[in-house]
Amino acid sequence: MESKHLEIIYQESDYDELDAERKRLYDAALAASGHAYAPYSHFQVGTAALLKNGEIVMGNNQENAAYPSALCAERVALFAACATYPDIPVLRLAIIAQANGEVKESISPCGACRQVMLEVEQRSKMPMEILLCGKKKVKVFKGITSLLPFTFTADDL
Ligand code: THU
């Protein structure tokens, strides 16, 4: 058996080093996290998707007393973006979380959200930059395949 090596390249920076557009997206995700409906986990996630037409669509986690009925912040934003602007590519997605009033260090999206990001990226026909925003550092990935390297898509059907 042959060993294979997989390398993931991403950028990391402080908030202050981000350009104005990315700072705006970070700020929008942070604001959205403040409105998350998370009475069960008390873990508030906010997302902001920048579309090619300049619109920013925000999302946050929406929990439910029937726990599996909840939806992550990433899918709330991406489904809303695709519902409202089905033909407009999503250029970037910022993700941030806070708990007990404190912004966390960057979190990584769950597997189900990565799969949805992949399909949105395919619909957009261009890579979607993903910003994992933390209290101090922001990790920037050029596209979803950096976070989901072995993909299952419609091409596999
Ligand atoms: N959650 C998100 O919204 N996005 C993530 O990337 C991770 C987890 C939500 C789901 C649930 O409402 C809470 O955070 C705790 O898992």
Beta pairing partners, 140: 11, 131
Residue 99 Cβ inside 6 Å of ligand 1? The answer reads no
Burial (Cβ within 10 Å: 0-12, 13-18, ≥19) of residue 58: buried
| Tens digits of residue pLDDT in 133-152 | 999 999 999 999 999 999 99
Residue 111 CA to ligand 1 center (angstroms) comes to: 11
| Tens digits of residue pLDDT in 79-112 | 999 999 999 999 999 999 999 999 999 999 999 9
Q: 102: helix, coil or strand? A: strand
90-99 and 43-51 as β-strands: parallel, antiparallel, unpaired?
A: antiparallel
How many other CB atoms sit within 10 Å of the CB of residue 156? 6
User: Nearest to residue 94, comparing CAs of 38, 16, 25, 37?
Assistant: 25
